[in-house]
Structure 1
Amino acid sequence: MPAHILIVDDDSSHRTVLRTIIEDWGYEVSEAPDGETAVAMTQERPYDTVLMDIRMGAMDGITAHKHIAKHNPSIPVLIMTAYSSINTAVIALKQGAYDYLIKPLDFDVLKLTIERMLDHTRLVEENRSLKEKGADNNQFGMVGNSDRMHELVETITTVAPTHAPVLITGESGTGKELVAKAVFQASERSCKPFVTINCAALSESLLESELFGHEKGAFTGADKRRDGLFWQADGGTIFMDEVGEIPLSLQAKLLRVLQQGELQRVGSDAILHVDIRVIAATNRDLQEEVANKTFREDLYYRLNVIGLEVPSLRERQADIPLLAEHFMKIYADKYSKNVVGFSPQAMDALVNNPWPGNIRELENTMERAVIMATAEYITDRELPASLRNSVPEPAASPRGGDLPLGDVSLENLEKRAVQAALKKHKKKVDAANALGITRATLHSKIKKYGLEEQKKK
């Protein structure tokens, strides 16, 4: 079913020209002669996009857009304006309009802009549909509907009940600790301890003491015996983040815990036995580390009995709107802000950003946006400048000067509009009414474009 576009303009001739060319592009088109009519029409049905002129009689485009956005903020609105009214168009952008184009329109630019707007509408509708069906995957606290996330959750559900070691890989900020907690929560050890340690945060000597414990007097400052994290996790699970940072000297001891369940406190010859499940995570390529002799091969294979790869955010782009809304709600509640959604431009910026920092970066961005928001909807003004710059160059026209019409002239469009009206209506009076012109004007245009002669042929 073709997308449905609403053209709002009090110039009937301009509406007819736009309708003709937009229908040629394969879209369904409706018309409104003023803002008041447009508001009423958008309340009757959810158009895929609205193409709105600013200067109109009964209700101007700015006021109409404000009413449309209040009723249905998900409908992207494209403003048409003369060069002299650019400042007014900027006001529309600030209240959430998708973009604006300067008259006379460049129809190639118009087509590209409409395509981008419809892509946005499609994305919004897909996410709304998934929510209505209850299909958004929030299991284990992981938000997402992408195939990659469904595969990850299915794998977690399958492997969690076992006692096998798990190695979680993925870029920084992808949520590896959340995956580790998910494995723990779905396991038979969920009522037992869950102990975490960041192996990259401690020096070699401190890491050894933290993991294995130490006896009193084992080193300077060891004024009493201390149980290590492995001992504290006995019967439960230990999550070793950044496991690739463990020095070679400690890797043999870790392998012993994994294989025999045995450990020794620093400064002690006594062997302790523990029953623990090890879940490890790294953003390093451990196979490459093995090849470089910086990570033990036997330890790698012992850790990687079950491997879980967490996709980067750019690999699950379809999840960005859900994640953004998830974090938006969290921080709106935290800071008591009445923020309920996003403008089309803001969401475009979020979806098109490469997110090198992954989910952690997205969460920080949403916290900032909520803090900076002064209205109900987050706009691109609340996003970092680097994020706004990540969006592909908008299809909108340059902000100044008239634009060439490319290969499609207004005369050609007018001719096609007249042809279309004559073809659709048997009586010329009906064709003239459809075009918004008098019969005399229609006859002059038929003569001007030689349409009578063409009809006779």
Structure 2
Amino acid sequence: MTTKQNKNLPILLIEDDQALARLISDELEAEGWSLIIFHQIHPALDWLKLNQPALIVTDLRLPDGNGMQVVEQVVTHWPEEQRPGLIVITAFGSVRQAVQALQAGADDFLTKPLDLEHFLLAVERVVATRKLHDELFQFRKLNRQPSFHQMFGRSEAMRSLFEQIKVIGRAQGPVLINGESGTGKELVAKALHAESDRAASPFLAVNCAGIPQELLESEFFGHAAGSFTGAKKSRKGLLQEANGGSLLLDEIGEMPMALQAKLLRALQDGSIRPVGQDTEEKVDVRIIAATHRDLKQKVVEGSFREDLFYRLETFALSVPPLRDREEDREILAQQFLQQLVVAQGRKIQGFSDKALEIIRHYAFPGNVRELQNVVERAFAFCNEEWIQPQHLPARLMESQAPEQVPVTAETQRHDDDLLAGAVLPTLEQLQKRYINRVLKEVNGNKRRAAALLGIGRRTLYRWLDEESEEAEEIILKDK
């Protein structure tokens, strides 16, 4: 069981009996845990303000306080889903104290002398239970995650897109959707249709690049019987079939110029003439066009009609690429995984923390479609309860290599400055100089700086805060 626990986080031990602290430390380190040890309450409480352990083991009676203070701070200040496990130990245990500790929020209450085998089992059980609490919270959060017409996202870019769809959906004019391949332009078109007063009427979609050029006119406008070889009977076109509803013209930039002229007339007059037919027919269709091309550039090149471009651009929407939606990647990955679990009935619980971290930091040039394919591949290769980094494609792993800043003459000068001075700097001074040097190289971008330093952003912020506090103390002393 221990091998499945997340041991990236340490165990915090607060115990004034130094011999017992060493014994507990040896036992837990043998099981693969790292420990942070304090012999008093207040330094431990200060440490907890900036750090998160997997578990807290605290003695009840300590030189400067009571272990219940730790329980109260954790329960009061930590969200339930992030709360570490809590084990209280004491040499003066009673049933009343045990009940009080458990009611206050402790997960277990053990008495001295400790049975080490029982203690290790308690550690495993409490950590496993807290992990289950976290997984349950994440599962509930995932299920509570609202979708907007099957689109998921809490990023500012997606929230803005959803609001625009609501407004434009109620309008009547054509819509031009711009976005890279794989961003979900068809879902946006369907959402526009669902938000409109045409929602009860047909929604049809066609890829303009997927129809042979000689059949395009017939496909769009229909044809009369005998209008060309093989046309044994009349057939409705897409504009007729979508009458009263919406028609998505995907990859509109690939439409031939001759057909663009006829589409423009249909947009302006609301009438079409099927191939081989002498009379016109009225149609009421909202045209939604989508493209990953730069239509303005195609207008300049002469391969797209300027008048059609401006008619289609009555309302324009841009679908953000996934690289600009970092906070949405986990939501989407979990949704795709849940769909596969339901469809195939396999008992995969979710993604490991490390796998999720890789997904969060990969840019996904293929956008949402690439992410969906990545999850499908990982699901197929996973033979465990949790999807691990090795189940993800190699390109995602390779992208996690630390960013490197090229060494230039200016960079070399800064490197020499790190050791400048008549006396060699201490390691602490050198650390501070190097952090400031990296921040300067990345123009103050703390996220990039943390990546270059190989530390978490939280650690970087803590170092910077400590440095600011020291500077403030010096200023106050000078005054």
- Cα 1:330/1:46, change in 2 over 3 Å: closer
Residue type of the partner of 1:215? A
Which stretch of the first structure deviates more once superposed, 286-295 or 216-225? 216-225
1:10 matched residue in structure 2: 25
1:72 matched residue in structure 2: 131
Q: Secondary structure at the match of 2:25?
A: coil
**Is 2:175 the partner of 1:152?**
no
Q: Would you say the 8 A contact 1:214–1:267 is kept in 2? A: yes
- Cα 1:175/1:18, change in 2 over 3 Å: farther
Structure 2, unmatched stretches of 5+, are: 1-8, 14-23, 59-70, 86-115, 404-425, 429-479
Identity over aligned residues, as a percent?
Answer: 37
- Cα 1:329/1:205, change in 2 over 3 Å: same
2:314 matched residue in structure 1: 305
> Which residue, 172, 180, 189 being the options, matches 1:163?
172
Q: Deviations over 1:259-297 (max 9, x none)?
A: 001211122332121111101111111111111111001
**Is 2:335 the partner of 1:348?**
no
- For 1:148 and 1:184, locate their aligned partners in 2 and report how far apart those are by CA, in whole Å: 21
Q: Give the alignment's Cα RMSD to 1 decimal.
A: 3.8
Q: How far 1:6 moved relative to its partner?
A: 3.6
> Which residue, 201, 206, 222 being the options, matches 2:231?
222
2:258 matched residue in structure 1: 249
Q: Deviations over 1:44-74 (max 9, x none)?
A: 8766789xxxxxx648999966863564168
Q: Would you say the 8 A contact 1:5–1:27 is kept in 2? A: no
1:448 matched residue in structure 2: none
Residue type of the partner of 1:192? S
Q: How far 1:390 moved relative to its partner?
A: 1.9
- Cα 1:220/1:73, change in 2 over 3 Å: same
> Which residue, 159, 181, 188 being the options, matches 1:172?
181
1:294 matched residue in structure 2: 303
- For 1:342 and 1:217, locate their aligned partners in 2 and report how far apart those are by CA, in whole Å: 59
Q: Deviations over 1:376-434 (max 9, x none)?
A: 3221122112122222449xxxxxxxxxxx937xxxxxxxxxxxxxxxxxxxxxxxxxx
Q: Deviations over 1:316-367 (max 9, x none)?
A: 1111111111111100111111122211110011111111111111112212
- For 2:189 and 2:267, locate their aligned partners in 1 and report how far apart those are by CA, in whole Å: 17
2:427 matched residue in structure 1: 407
2:343 matched residue in structure 1: 334
Residue type of the partner of 1:370? F
Q: Would you say the 8 A contact 1:172–1:283 is kept in 2? A: yes
Q: Would you say the 8 A contact 1:350–1:387 is kept in 2? A: yes
Q: Would you say the 8 A contact 1:69–1:75 is kept in 2? A: no
- For 1:27 and 1:190, locate their aligned partners in 2 and report how far apart those are by CA, in whole Å: 52
Q: How far 1:18 moved relative to its partner?
A: 13
> Which residue, 263, 278, 283 being the options, matches 2:292?
283
Q: Secondary structure at the match of 2:325?
A: helix
Residue type of the partner of 1:10? S
Q: Deviations over 1:116-168 (max 9, x none)?
A: xxxxxxxx99x889769x5x441211111111111111111111122111111
- For 1:228 and 1:266, locate their aligned partners in 2 and report how far apart those are by CA, in whole Å: 10
TM-score scaled by length of structure 1: 0.64
Q: Would you say the 8 A contact 1:5–1:47 is kept in 2? A: no
Q: How far 1:25 moved relative to its partner?
A: 11
- For 1:131 and 1:345, locate their aligned partners in 2 and report how far apart those are by CA, in whole Å: 18
1:143 matched residue in structure 2: 152
Structure number with higher relative contact order (C-alpha < 8 Å, ≥ 6 residues apart): 1
2:62 matched residue in structure 1: none
- Cα 1:197/1:15, change in 2 over 3 Å: closer
- For 2:39 and 2:300, locate their aligned partners in 1 and report how far apart those are by CA, in whole Å: 63
- For 1:18 and 1:229, locate their aligned partners in 2 and report how far apart those are by CA, in whole Å: 77
Q: Secondary structure at the match of 1:167?
A: strand
- For 2:192 and 2:182, locate their aligned partners in 1 and report how far apart those are by CA, in whole Å: 18
- For 1:32 and 1:162, locate their aligned partners in 2 and report how far apart those are by CA, in whole Å: 58
- Cα 1:212/1:66, change in 2 over 3 Å: farther
Q: Would you say the 8 A contact 1:23–1:29 is kept in 2? A: no
2:50 matched residue in structure 1: 27
Q: Would you say the 8 A contact 1:348–1:391 is kept in 2? A: no
Residue type of the partner of 1:261? G
Q: Would you say the 8 A contact 1:257–1:263 is kept in 2? A: yes
Equivalenced residues, count: 332
2:370 matched residue in structure 1: 361
Residue type of the partner of 1:193? P
> Which residue, 215, 225, 234 being the options, matches 2:243?
234
- Cα 1:289/1:18, change in 2 over 3 Å: farther
1:378 matched residue in structure 2: 387
- For 1:195 and 1:304, locate their aligned partners in 2 and report how far apart those are by CA, in whole Å: 20
- For 1:248 and 1:60, locate their aligned partners in 2 and report how far apart those are by CA, in whole Å: 78
- For 1:66 and 1:348, locate their aligned partners in 2 and report how far apart those are by CA, in whole Å: 26
- Cα 1:298/1:16, change in 2 over 3 Å: same
- For 1:257 and 1:145, locate their aligned partners in 2 and report how far apart those are by CA, in whole Å: 38
- For 1:60 and 1:320, locate their aligned partners in 2 and report how far apart those are by CA, in whole Å: 39
Q: Secondary structure at the match of 2:288?
A: strand
Residue type of the partner of 2:127? I
2:439 matched residue in structure 1: none
